[in-house]
Structure 1
Amino acid sequence: MSDSAPQTAPQAAANGNRRRQLTLLAGVVAVGVVGYGAWWLAFDSHFVETDDAYVGAETAQVTALSPGPVAKIFVSETQAVKKGDPLVVIDDADARIAVAQAEAALGQAERKVKGYFANDTALGGQFEARQADVTRADAQITAAKADVERARIDFTRRKALVGEGAVSGDELTAAQNRLANAQAALNAAQAARAQALASRDAALGSREANTVLISGASVGENPEVKAARARLDAARLALARTVVRAPTDGVVARKSVQVGQQVAIGAPLMAVVPTHEAYVDANFKEVQLDKVVPGQPVVLTSDLYGGGVKFHGKVKGLAGGTGSAFSLIPAQNASGNWIKVVQRLPVRITLDPADLAKHPLRVGLSMKAKIDVAKQ
């Protein structure tokens, strides 16, 4: 039979059936493509997603705030703790001695300042006594001046009568001696007054110097007492810091301290991971980020719990640079053999605390994140 021979009826029917099936298949494919395009435009284009996402947390580093040997450890790795729970106790013998010394120094300072107040009264009395000496010296000078005046008048009168023979030479000499004695007494009184004035000024200076130490403040507010109290507070704080407490709620991790270990101030002891405040850093491609802004809702799933458990969150912000830009050895794109690589930028996502309470996460776990970019 030749190829140009007419088809039989069964062959024609089979060919027609095949054409109808192919047409139907093409129609189904076309409807599927159109449907997918419509669905993508209406829904899927409103989302960007990535599986390059990981759980993170602001891990609290626990360090020693007082030096000394470790006396006790109350926690172990993976143990959950609350803020303020004791973690480690450092031997406090030296700190207790420092507190006792500071307490003694405070007592000495208070007694010293009370002595200043007592001295103020005593120095005030000394000043009044020296002032009385000045007043007494003034009175003595006045009396001595009167004696000198009387002796001068007596001497002048007797000297005038010597020529008439009414007064003997001995009487004149005696009158002259009395004048000289009165003048000497006046000089002595004046010297005594000068000494009394100097003593009064010295007493005044001592009182003023003491007044500077106590003026404007009570015993408790005196600078010397406040400085001693501050040193006592510092010693008590150092004693309190021998008990290292949890800075936040979380789980103990990276514990590196043992009983008996000598630690210095700032030595790392362990870390506390606040799992209740976990977040997700999702690394989206740069071509996905044109519509991503803070506040947009995010739906996440974890490899730990599977796709049946949904976590809800919000975009907190976008990182200031890509991971390669902040790497230890940043890429040098100015080289001659350059190949463009699509970069990824970390997007920080906060999680709903209720979701974390129901399904706790751990730092470093893998996540899948889907952001609704339709909501601006």
Structure 2
Amino acid sequence: MAERDPIELHARHDHQEVLPPELPGSARKPKRRKVIAGLVAAKLAIGGAAWLLIDRSHVSTDNAYVNADSALVTPLVSGAVTAVPVVNTQTVHKGDILLRLDDSDARLALAKAEAEYLTARRQFAQTKSTSGSLAAQVEARGADIGQAQAQMAAAAAGFDKARVDFQRRSELAQSGAVSGEELTATRNAYRTAQANLTMARAAMAQASASRGAARQSWAANEALVAGTTIDASPDVAAARAKLDQARLDLARTVIRAPVDGVVTNRQVQIGQRIAAGSAVMTVVPVNRVYVDANFKEGQLARVRPGQPVELTSDLYGEDVVYHGRVAGFAGGTGSAFALIPAQNATGNWIKVVQRLPVRVVLDARELAQHPLRVGLSMAAKIDVSGYGRD
């Protein structure tokens, strides 16, 4: 084998990469641990900075909507519609006419009730006058009793005289001192006096009974009018109540706005016959709307009534900020009052974060400057900085 040139060997040796000696396994581990510790420290530093930058003094949601206690217009009497002077979107004030019904039947009922009221008053006056007449009849029956007593006394005296005469004539007739004709005459006179006494006693009883009946009639009549006036009489009061009801029914043929607001959902036309209690339209009080903000249950730990709220509407954008206050919380979540509430007793249970409606009242002046409508979307942010954790 030929020997290599020494110069060539030296050149190749100069071009070879000089590598450091390999470290043993025990020397690599401290270096890896330092790298991992540095990464963990950097992550903690980033998390701490993010935690410091998060706004913990507010809770917010964009699941909020404008609402209002709308007035549902329902006529209290039935009838045919003769006029509807309002349309949807029209602004009305409390007392403005919304609807007119045919009032022909109501006017007839009012006239009949007025006649019955006048009749009741006249009957009371007549009953009160009759009481005086019955009292006079009681006194007249008392006079009849006096006359009957006098007649009975006279009949009794005549009877006693006729009885004595008859007894005397009967004794003398046995000795022949009195004729048979005279004895017969005294006997007839005695029987006549006896009959007159019986008639007088019957007349006395009849006069007493008449006076008793007159007293009963007077007492019954007095029970109707004693201690009362014409206006306090039960019959008159009932007639007056019926008259007031007729007047109220006539007034109810004109339906007026119960509150200030905007007419919406009008469901009635001229000529349509509507029943009492049927909904015909709705008046939304846009100057008294509020916001129902649906917050997650985990956001409500520090929310309390009275805390300030800032709200923005999609209608005006973020340039218009409303200021309000937390008025209160709903009695339950939206799912709790659903038509078919969720039932989690089947075993296939998945936790779903619930939302609780929070009522927020708005500033009336801001609401007047930028009116809202029911159903509009809102974003709400509650300042909870005034509530500290325990």
Shift of 1:35: 6.5
Q: Which residue of 1 aligns with 2:94?
A: 83
What is the SS of the residue equivalent to 2:56?
A: helix
Q: Does 1:180 align with 2:194?
A: no
Q: Which residue of 1 aligns with 2:323?
A: 312
Q: Which residue of 2 aligns with 1:261?
A: 272
Q: Which residue of 1 aligns with 2:263?
A: 252
What is the SS of the residue equivalent to 1:175?
A: helix
Q: Does 1:45 align with 2:56?
A: yes
Q: In 2, distance between residues paired with 1:366 and 1:175? A: 125
Q: Which residue of 1 aligns with 2:66?
A: 55
Q: 2:296 aligns with which of 257, 269, 285?
A: 285
Q: Which residue of 2 aligns with 1:196?
A: 207
Q: In 2, distance between residues paired with 1:33 and 1:221? A: 85
Q: Which residue of 1 aligns with 2:122?
A: 111
Gaps of 5+ in 1: 6-28
Q: Which residue of 2 aligns with 1:214?
A: 225
How do 1:92-107 residues align onto structure 2 when only pairs under 5 Å count? 92-107=103-118
The letter for the 2-side match of 1:349 is V
Greater gyration radius: 2
Q: Which residue of 1 aligns with 2:383?
A: 372
RMSD, matched Cα: 2.4
What is the SS of the residue equivalent to 1:129?
A: helix
What is the SS of the residue equivalent to 1:325?
A: helix
TM-score, normalised with respect to structure 1: 0.87
Q: Deviations over 1:295-327 (max 9, x none)?
A: 222121112122222212111111111112211
Q: Does 1:223 align with 2:213?
A: no
Q: In 2, distance between residues paired with 1:287 and 1:4? A: 64
The letter for the 1-side match of 2:316 is Y
Q: Which residue of 1 aligns with 2:79?
A: 68
The letter for the 1-side match of 2:312 is T
The letter for the 2-side match of 1:265 is A
Shift of 1:241: 0.3
What is the SS of the residue equivalent to 1:84?
A: coil
The letter for the 1-side match of 2:291 is V
How do 1:124-143 residues align onto structure 2 when only pairs under 5 Å count? 124-143=135-154
Percent of aligned positions that are identical: 55
The letter for the 2-side match of 1:375 is G
What is the SS of the residue equivalent to 1:362?
A: coil
Aligned residues: 352
TM-score, normalised with respect to structure 2: 0.84
Q: 1:2 to 1:125 in 2, by over 3 A?
A: farther
Q: Bigger CA drift: 308-317 or 57-66?
A: 308-317
Shift of 1:215: 2.6
Q: 2:134 aligns with which of 123, 132, 148?
A: 123
What is the SS of the residue equivalent to 1:369?
A: strand
